[in-house]
Amino acid sequence: MVGIRVDSNSIIATGHMMRCITIAKAIVRAGGSVTFFIADEESEILLRENVRELSKIGVVVLHSAWDDLESELPVLIEQLQLRGINMLLVDSYKVTYDYFKAISRVCRTAYIDDLHEGIYPVDVLINYSGYYDIFNYEADYTGVHGHDSEQAKLLLGLMYAPLREQFAGVYDAREMTDVKDILLACGGGDTLNMILPTLNVITNRELNKTYTWHVVVGDYVENKEEIRAFTAMHEGIEIHESVKDMASLMRSCDLAVVAAGTMLTECAAIRLPAVFYQVADNQRYGVEYWRKPGRMIYAGDATNDKDGVIASIVREVSAFKTDSDRLELIRSNLGMITDGRGAERIAEELLCDK
């Protein structure tokens, strides 16, 4: 039995939870069972909505503080033992060495590590980014182990990116000749309130008459009613809520405007060029990877200059109108980045009996 410790709320948004749900579904497809351990009812809402159809996925609410993981150890360890968990995957920036040390006495552990801000006593360490090689994982984890006596196993690189099954091994092979449909997505919570200001500039510049904009409104977006009202008043803008088949929506578009994060890897899996921007400091390494020549187009850091980022988005989108060769070059380069089967590879490692 595999356990997953993760949370989702208005502060940390949906990214951690959604990638863990993807891994959980891959585990179930491989014949395993999963129990999620979450801090509170706020995390439970999104989780149950996305796994309700799967009988082999359970949910335990710890009634703990999502940002103080060590305080939950007594109840978590009791639940791990009660439910026969032999592998616990943890996805949180609030982990500590002592947290993993305590859990490793009970079961094997795996950690999704985006930033390498510590060295932890785990059995499996996952960094599925394109920038993992800037860290010294191989040397740092030499001799490190968790529940097992063997050295921690490292799962590194975009081949382990846990994209949803809909992104696995599929892409749009059509030749890119023009931009007509543009995807606009700002993350599960649009934490910096980028959607409406971007739409305002788009309509002021009449880019909604040049392109059709497909606006994805995530589950934690607070001003949904305002966005709906704005969309209803302007042509060329379509709103998409509670999107289940994002891959199909992406394949219907010629270009994406997105916040940095997992969606960039999803775009790469189906070869959709993107203009992207930074919304959090923990994205800084990913930004450097994706903005390299021939990959995605960087519009700036929205945490420091929202207006400048929106101006850059408009400028870059407009430039593609007369530069179809650039679009095709990006599409070609993206085809070498990921096959979208990372969740399957992670599931196989988590289910591996030692």
Q: Residue 74 and residue 76: Cα distance in Å, rounded?
A: 6
- The domain in which residue 28 lies consists of 2-165+339-350
* Whether residue 35 is found in the same domain as residue 102: yes
10 pLDDT tier (thresholds 50, 70, 90): confident
* Whether residue 109 is found in the same domain as residue 185: no
* Whether residue 149 is found in the same domain as residue 218: no
How many domains does one find in the chain?
2
Share of the chain above pLDDT 70, in %: 97
* Whether residue 63 is found in the same domain as residue 78: yes
* Whether residue 266 is found in the same domain as residue 153: no
* Whether residue 25 is found in the same domain as residue 130: yes
Give the pLDDT mean for 270-281: 94
* Whether residue 233 is found in the same domain as residue 102: no
* Whether residue 50 is found in the same domain as residue 34: yes
0.75 surpassed by pTM: yes
Predicted pLDDT at 173: 56
* Whether residue 147 is found in the same domain as residue 273: no
Q: If you average pLDDT over every residue of the chain, what do you get? A: 93
Residues near 338 by beta carbon (within 8 Å), at least 6 away in sequence: 158, 159, 161, 163, 265, 268, 269
The structure tokens listed for 197 are: 């200001």
Nearest CA to 111 out of 134, 97, 340 is that of: 97
* Whether residue 27 is found in the same domain as residue 111: yes
Q: What is the pLDDT of residues 53-104, one digit of tens each?
A: 778 899 999 999 999 999 999 999 999 999 999 999 999 999 999 999 999 9
Q: 3-state secondary structure string, 72-111?
A: HHHHHHHHHHHCCCCEEEEECCCCCHHHHHHHHCCCEEEE
Q: What is the pLDDT of residues 157-177, one digit of tens each?
A: 999 999 999 998 655 555 666
Strand partners, 60: 37
Query: Do 239 and 266 contact (CB within 8 A), yes or no?
Result: no
Q: The domain spanning residue 75 has which CATH number?
A: 3.40.50.11190
Q: Which amino acid is at 197?
A: P
Q: Output the CA torsion sign for 313, 314, 316, 321.
A: positive
Q: The domain spanning residue 206 has which CATH number?
A: 3.40.50.2000
Q: Which amino acid is at 57?
A: I
Q: Residue 213 and residue 325: Cα distance in Å, rounded?
A: 22
